[in-house]
A and B are shown apart, each in its own frame.
Chain A
Amino acid sequence: MKRRVKENLIAYAFCAPAYTIFTIFLFIPIVWVVFLSLKDFSIVTFYSAKFVGFRNYLRLAKDQIFLRSIVNTIYFTLLYVPGNTILGLIFALLLNKPFKGRDFFRLALFIPNVIPMVVVSIIWSLIFSSSTTGIANRILISLHLKPIEWLSDYRYALIAVGIVLIWSGFGYRMLIFLAGLQNIPDELYEAAALDGATKWQITFKITLPLLRPTTFFVITTSLINSFQVFTPIYIMTGGGPGYSTTTIVNYLYTKGFSEFQMGYASAISVVLLVIILALTFVQRKIGREDIIF
């Protein structure tokens, strides 16, 4: 009996440091943010915060800019998720079997993912810079097309950010697909080849169906990521022109940390939390449970 107690205590001691950090910086905040969303305060008026019930949420429901930020986030998602998934899948299929230069190509496609997002955003804001100075417009001009105000035209700004995040992200998805491809046993391919199946048949009848769990995983994690896009928009467009590129997290930042309406920003946080948890729930329920990140 005494040994049992000791065994328990030792295990808790091993867990204590990590779980203390989790408790202070994740578990307490996640409960607290719900309470904070029912108050009206800034960091200065924190101790005299007014309890306002659901008023922040009612305000959110009528806030045109917030609704706009949700629409923007969804629009961005429609570029980001298919772009990354499809390019990742295509290049994983192309770079799966060994051939000359394969490892170099894999690295070259993945490398943008290692570059810090701030640097990525600055590089691309130079490339997309206005009128005729940026290379993006130089290329358009050399193709005899009209230059575009990439980042200051409300029609193109979010597309430009989408291009940047596909540039930096599809190589990562490619690596995940490659890892998924490794789990498909070679015998299946060999058997199909013996039966006289063509390359296309093998790809569409064997590879893609067997990759379905990986594909599902890539799509759902990309969805979760794209609902949390912040840095590139903060640096490249600042949410503008107008509010045409303001996403949920950018709006959260503006309300909470530029205008210091922290109660209101907490309500935005809770909405974000609910969206992400719903997406994660779908992922865990429908997807394979043994995939982790």
Chain B
Amino acid sequence: MKSQNWWLYVVKYLLVISACTFTLLPLIWVIVRSIEPDTGIESYSLIPRSITFENYPAAWNYPTVIDENVTLGTMLFNSLFVAGIVTLVSIFFDSMAGYALARKNFVGKKVLFWLALSTLMIPFYAVAIPMYIITIRFGMYDSLAALIIPFTASGFGVFMFRQSFLSIPADFEQAAKADGANDFYIYWRIMLPMVKPTVATMVVFKVLWSWGQFFWPLLVIQDYSKMPINLGLAMFRGHNITRWGLLCAGMIVATLPILVIFLMCQKWYVEGLSGGLKG
């Protein structure tokens, strides 16, 4: 019995360690390429021949080749700006709607709830063409607004906030109402602070999602100065295949902010997953 357990342990560690090697090796490889002198010869070693940080400023300034006013910093800013505004505004809009669906009684409540759920079933790609036409008609084509406004509400967020508002006892609300507080005050100052964990979860989900967007920016952004960093990288990939060191440095710049945010908020992400599962 004892020896059998010992074997299981070895097999378990072997499996897990080989899986981690599979997931981490490509990432380590990219980091090594980004700090190795870029000689134009593809290298595959995991130990850098020598260390340099030249690739980073080179990658940072690479976009100036196409547009002298654009650096990787411009695109990084675009991504941060879009992710920041989308996250803030959509958490505000989602939580307001979620609050009403959880706490108010009104005509059509069931229908509105069902509509919020139905947005989860609509595949984004299937509505891309009409969305594209609407975006052009609103004069938002080739502007950051096109990357922000359509995504300032999500059925997923409405649903998650509704669930967490439902779980809060009614006493707090009634006490405030008795004191004559208005509805917005109750939502903003009393109820919203009580669902902080959901807010935190939604921040992680929305930032990750917004940062990873590619298809929609590809459709509506043409000007290099408006591109989010992921779209910019994909564009450079097209005419910059030979300089791997530079490309790898650019990819690290595009990944680092989101990685840091995720590592700081890991706990909320995992809680969101289990929360969604329990419903």
Contact = CB atoms under 8 A, between A and B. Distances in A.
Contacts of A14: 96-97, 99-100, 104, 183, 187
B26 A127 contact: yes
A197 interface: no
Interface of A: 7-8, 10-12, 14-15, 17-19, 21-22, 24-30, 32-33, 36, 43, 46, 87, 90-91, 94-95, 105, 107-109, 111-112, 114-119, 122-127, 129, 133-135, 138, 167, 171, 175-176, 179-180, 182-183, 199, 214, 217, 224, 227-228, 230-231, 234-235, 249, 252-253, 256-257, 262, 265-266, 269-270, 272-273, 276-277, 280, 288, 290-293
B29 A135 contact: yes
B145 interface: no
B38 to A, nearest CB: 13
Interface residues of B, number: 89
Q: Is the interface of A mostly helix, strand, loop or mixed?
A: helix
B215 interface: yes
Interface of B: 8, 12, 15-16, 19-20, 22-24, 26-27, 29-30, 42, 44, 92-94, 96-97, 99-101, 104-107, 109, 112, 115-117, 119-134, 136, 149-150, 152-153, 155-156, 158-160, 183, 187, 208, 211-212, 214-215, 218-219, 230-231, 233-234, 237, 244, 247-248, 251, 254-255, 258-259, 262, 266, 270, 273-274, 276-279
B222 to A, nearest CB: 12
Given A115-B255, A276-B121, 16 more contacts: A17-B153, A19-B112, A26-B127, A91-B19, A94-B16, A117-B214, A118-B254, A122-B233, A123-B251, A129-B42, A167-B26, A171-B23, A175-B270, A230-B214, A266-B130, A292-B160
B30 A123 contact: yes
Contacts of A125: 237
